[in-house]
Structure 1
Amino acid sequence: MKQSIFNQFIPTNLLFGCGSIKKLATEQLPGKKALIVISSGTSMRKYGYLDQVIELLAKNGATAVVYDKILPNPIRSHVMEAAALCKQEQCDFVIGLGGGSSIDSAKSIAVMACNPGDYWDYIHGGTGKGQPTSGGALPVVAIPTTAGTGTEADPWTVITHEERNEKIGFGNASTFPVLSIVDPELMVSVPAHLTAYQGFDAFFHAAEGYIARIASPISDLYALKSIRLLYQYLPTAVTDGANMEARSNVALASTLSGMVESTSSCTSEHSLEHAMSAYYPALPHGAGLIMLSVAYFTAFAQVVPERFMQMAEAMTGQRSHDPMDFVHALAHMQKACGVSELKMSEWGITEADLPRFVQNARENMGALFGLDPVALTNEKFLQIYKDSFR
């Protein structure tokens, strides 16, 4: 019998459940003055989430400054601008409030509030210099209002260098949130199409983590549970956003998928998508993953057939004898969520872009290719793009 060898390190105090946001008023905070990082959109103010957080912080003896420029695909210049504000205002912790882009940005801002130079000095891949973040990072509090990235339970942050079309992940022990509050009641305002995109991002974190070469018995538990919950509840959350049972289970699945990212890893599907949204930043990350997914997973189905059949069984509850059962269940799930007809061309992508996407993915997020179940050639990845193109 093969022995299991694995590490688990998730040092985040996680508060989960409806109404848990209220605990921000009583939970021990990592500082007295927060930089609250939110998106450039209107939802955090429109639905009262920002005011609620500021009020709860005040009850807990903390003040706040707000940075509100974060884009759906966050960029390096905003990280640097917000870090400067953080230092100027002498904030001693950072709160990411909103979707994965805001929480990811909060992590990167927390790093640059404690380290000199440019954010890209510390990035591995692309033109990054790969220097150590010897200054550590300010403590981060994550308050997600979407269910997708699981960034509340992992150290990862993805930022784009907008001048170089480099979209690269980064993270270390200091970028884990010290406190994460996951309250599904904050997620009911997410529109149906974004609920679907975000939910599938969580799904692919789990599925990629399950087939990754570094999957462990611990990550497998998180992954299969996340996959099962999303297959069962995401279509309902998309069609009936006020259904709290569905919202809560999708939120749980997203957090579990973040734990997968802390104990296993994404594979090259994420590298392929990062290349797409590096050039076309209006493309939602989850939408890009959805468009690639059927061709991508088909390419690996016969490589680790047992893993694919196990994922299919987690989804459908039925015995699987064919690894393609997973791909068929995935296609069914996408249809049920109304995202089976997404087209790259709707975001301006052309077939001429596809070869440079392969090159960009290799150059900037090449490490994930090494975690695939088997190494594929650039020609094969180009074929995955072509098969996905519409």
Structure 2
Amino acid sequence: MQFSHSSPVKLVFGPGRLDALATEPLPGTKALLLTSNGTAVERIGALGRVKTMLEARGLPYVHVAAVEPNPLSTTVMAVSKTVREEKCDFIIALGGGSVMDAAKAIGIVATNDGDIWDYVQQGRGGRRPIENAPIPLVAITTTAGTGSEVDGGGVITNPVTREKVGLGGHVNCYPKLAIVDPELMRSVPPRLTAYQGFDALFHAIEGYVTKRPNFLSDMYALESVRHVARGLARAVKDGDDLEAREHMAFANTLSGYVMTCCRLTSQHSMEHALSAFHPELPHGAGLIMLSLAYFGHMIKTGARSERFVELARALGHRDAVRPEDFLRALHELQVACGVADLKMSDWGITREEIPALAENCRSAGALLFEQDPVALTFEDTVAIYEAAYR
């Protein structure tokens, strides 16, 4: 049992804690305030509150609303140019996982030459080391999905190569400060709440059944799953249920901690191919559509049987005795959240694409395939896509 763990993030958690931005020490003197290209943070009032607090502190900032739901490498490069031109020395990422992931990538190329894909370590990435420390980051999450507020990685899509890949890992890619305020999540629509919640859930599940878990990742993962079981269906049903939002916000942050001390499995690589080919597909939706076929295949191999029983119990099936009970518990949660009927074809995905998807995910996401407890062949990968397709 050997592991390394680094969590250099100051975490401020709880309803109303967005106001901590008014007093917490900040890691620079001029901020790039980064948000998505949508209107959610403005609609919920978070953007206005953040601007007011920065202005009250006399801290100059440049606001850029640019990040896509699946952030693009081209956007990263355009915003990093703004960072340099405006001489911003830190980033405030206000939004969901896509904004925080993009901010980490922007921080890398704000201080290192070349294109962001030069620093990607898989697929067609340039595999260059990050030589200069990225500029510091403050992460304010408005969703419960990725845990990106407490980890050091981010996922970016290259629209030219059609690759969606994780990058980062430098100690300075971790946010200096993370603010997790469940009140900011109350207006997230039901379907997005479900997509984001299942993303957090699968971070925890994959971290629990991965090839190399450890005592610490197990603790984070199982507790994350328990909080998802307590909060997700309730939050989908009633977004104003603040207790449910607290459970999901905490589950999300715990799933981020899972990724600070172990790696996920190839389910995430398989979904990244789906949303790289079809950027309009929400990441969480893709994971939901793959999940029963993916974990069903793993269970059929006999891998991690005892752990799947424990996961079923953590999801609320306390009488679980077989790994298949996990599949039943997972399906029941999807039904309760109204996402059991998702179809890949609704996002334009075709059966004819499946071999190309399999090739893409095994190249661009090779590192996660190495973490599977039983190795997936190319044929296995195709078969999982086929079983999940409808």
Look up the match of 2:168.
171
Look up the match of 1:383.
383
Mapped partners of 1:125, 1:13: distance in 2: 30
**Is residue 101 from structure 1 mapped to residue 98 from structure 2 by the alignment?**
yes
Look up the match of 1:143.
140
**Is residue 161 from structure 1 mapped to residue 172 from structure 2 by the alignment?**
no
**1:124-143 CA-partner distances (Å, limit 9, x unpaired):** 11211110111110001100
Q: Which runs of 5+ in 2 are unaligned?
A: none
Mapped partners of 1:161, 1:120: distance in 2: 8
Verify the 8 A CA contact 1:205 1:265 in the aligned structure 2. no
Within 5 Å, which residues of 2 pair with 1:295-374? Answer: 295-301=293-299, 302-316=302-316, 318-374=318-374
Verify the 8 A CA contact 2:225 2:315 in the aligned structure 1. yes
Please report how far the alpha carbon of residue 152 of structure 1 lies from its aligned counterpart in structure 2 after TM superposition. Answer: 0.5
2:48 maps to a residue whose letter is D
TM-score calculated relative to the size of structure 2: 0.98
Please report how far the alpha carbon of residue 304 of structure 1 lies from its aligned counterpart in structure 2 after TM superposition. Answer: 1.0
Verify the 8 A CA contact 2:317 2:329 in the aligned structure 1. no
1:364 maps to a residue whose letter is A
RMSD: 0.9
Within 5 Å, which residues of 2 pair with 1:1-390? Answer: 4-172=1-169, 173-301=171-299, 302-316=302-316, 318-390=318-390
Secondary structure of the 1:66 match is strand
Please report how far the alpha carbon of residue 218 of structure 1 lies from its aligned counterpart in structure 2 after TM superposition. Answer: 0.4
Please report how far the alpha carbon of residue 214 of structure 1 lies from its aligned counterpart in structure 2 after TM superposition. Answer: 1.8
Verify the 8 A CA contact 2:104 2:137 in the aligned structure 1. yes
Secondary structure of the 2:135 match is coil
2:21 maps to a residue whose letter is L
Verify the 8 A CA contact 2:183 2:242 in the aligned structure 1. yes
1:324 maps to a residue whose letter is E
Mapped partners of 1:43, 1:376: distance in 2: 39
Please report how far the alpha carbon of residue 317 of structure 1 lies from its aligned counterpart in structure 2 after TM superposition. Answer: 5.1
Please report how far the alpha carbon of residue 59 of structure 1 lies from its aligned counterpart in structure 2 after TM superposition. Answer: 2.7
Mapped partners of 1:330, 1:170: distance in 2: 29
Secondary structure of the 2:286 match is helix
Secondary structure of the 1:153 match is coil
Mapped partners of 1:18, 1:168: distance in 2: 33
Mapped partners of 2:285, 2:92: distance in 1: 26
Q: Which runs of 5+ in 1 are unaligned?
A: none
Mapped partners of 2:81, 2:123: distance in 1: 24
Secondary structure of the 1:68 match is strand
1:338 maps to a residue whose letter is G
Mapped partners of 2:14, 2:366: distance in 1: 37
Mapped partners of 2:9, 2:55: distance in 1: 23
Please report how far the alpha carbon of residue 58 of structure 1 lies from its aligned counterpart in structure 2 after TM superposition. Answer: 2.4
Mapped partners of 2:73, 2:282: distance in 1: 18
Percentage identity across aligned positions? 48
1:323 maps to a residue whose letter is P
Mapped partners of 2:218, 2:55: distance in 1: 40
Secondary structure of the 1:97 match is strand
Mapped partners of 1:186, 1:46: distance in 2: 11
Please report how far the alpha carbon of residue 61 of structure 1 lies from its aligned counterpart in structure 2 after TM superposition. Answer: 3.4
Please report how far the alpha carbon of residue 78 of structure 1 lies from its aligned counterpart in structure 2 after TM superposition. Answer: 0.6
**1:289-337 CA-partner distances (Å, limit 9, x unpaired):** 0000001011112211011011111111513210111111000000000
